C-alpha cells in the first residue's frame, strides 16, 4: 500500500518551496487555506513526489502555537538527525546520481552512502530535516528475513559491514 501524503510544519515556506522544487525536483500541485482548530489559520502546500504520492507542508498562522516551535523531526526531539528522516525512492543508480547532481546544482551539500544493499544520498532541508533518496541494489534473501525476525527478540547479531561514505560540497556559485 502506498501513502497519500506526509505532512510536516515549516517556518519558512519560501525556502522550503525552493528546496523541494529546485533541489528535490518535486512540483507544487495544490494549496489549501483554512481556519485552524485552535484559532488563526493555516496554509497546506502539497508537492507531487511521483506515483500519486505527495509531501505537504503546513504554514501556520496561529497565535496559540509557540513561535519558537521546532520543525526538525529528529533534533527537535533531542535525537540525532539521522534517526527520524524522510526517504524517497530512486528508480535506479542513474536516478540516484541525477538526484545528487540536482541537489548540488541547487546549492545543497550532499552525503552519499553505499550501505552495501542500498545506496543513498542525504541532504538537510530548510526545516532541519534529513531527506534521503535511496535505491535498493541487492535483493533481500530468506536469510535476511530470518535475521530480521530474530533481531526482534535478540541483540545477538553480527554488525553489518561498514558503509562507504562520501561527502559532496555544492559549488559556491550554485543555487
What pLDDT, on a 0 to 100 scale, did the predictor assign at position 99? 96
Rounded distance between C-alpha atoms, residue 22 and residue 39, angstroms: 33
Rounded distance between C-alpha atoms, residue 162 and residue 113, angstroms: 10
What pLDDT, on a 0 to 100 scale, did the predictor assign at position 175? 46
44-56 burial by CB neighbour count: b if 16+ within 10 A, else e? bbbbebeeeebbb
| Average pLDDT rounded to a whole number, residues 70-77 | 91
Rounded distance between C-alpha atoms, residue 164 and residue 111, angstroms: 11
Name the pTM for this structure: 0.89
What pLDDT, on a 0 to 100 scale, did the predictor assign at position 72? 92
Residue 94 or residue 67, greater confidence: 94
Reduced to 3 states (helix: H, G, I; strand: E, B; else coil), residue 136 is strand
Which domains, ranges and CATH numbers included, belong to the chain? 1-69 (3.10.180.10), 78-175 (3.10.180)
Question: In this structure, is the dihedral angle defined by the CA atoms of residues 70, 72, 73 and 78, taken in order, positive or negative?
Answer: negative
Amino acid at each position: 500500500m502506498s501513502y497519500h501524503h506526509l505532512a510536516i510544519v515549516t517556518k519558512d515556506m519560501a525556502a522550503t518551496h525552493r528546496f523541494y522544487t529546485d533541489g528535490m525536483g518535486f512540483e507544487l500541485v495544490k494549496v489549501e487555506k483554512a481556519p485552524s482548530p485552535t484559532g488563526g489559520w493555516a496554509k497546506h502546500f502539497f508537492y507531487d513526489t511521483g506515483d500519486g504520492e505527495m509531501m505537504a507542508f503546513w504554514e501556520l498562522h496561529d497565535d496559540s502555537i509557540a513561535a519558537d516551535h521546532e520543525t526538525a523531526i529528529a533534533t527537535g526531539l533531542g535525537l540525532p538527525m539521522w534517526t527520524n528522516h524522510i526517504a524517497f525512492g530512486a528508480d535506479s543508480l542513474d536516478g540516484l546520481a541525477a538526484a545528487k547532481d540536482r541537489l548540488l546544482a541547487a546549492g545543497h551539500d550532499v552525503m552519499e552512502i553505499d550501505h552495501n544493499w542500498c545506496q543513498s544520498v542525504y541532504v538537510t532541508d530548510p526545516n532541519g530535516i534529513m531527506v534521503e533518496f535511496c535505491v535498493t541494489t541487492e535483493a533481500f534473501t530468506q536469510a535476511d528475513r530470518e535475521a530480521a525476525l530474530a533481531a526482534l527478540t535478540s541483540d545477538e547479531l553480527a554488525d553489518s559491514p561498514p558503509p562507504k561514505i562520501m561527502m559532496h560540497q555544492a559549488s559556491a556559485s550554485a543555487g
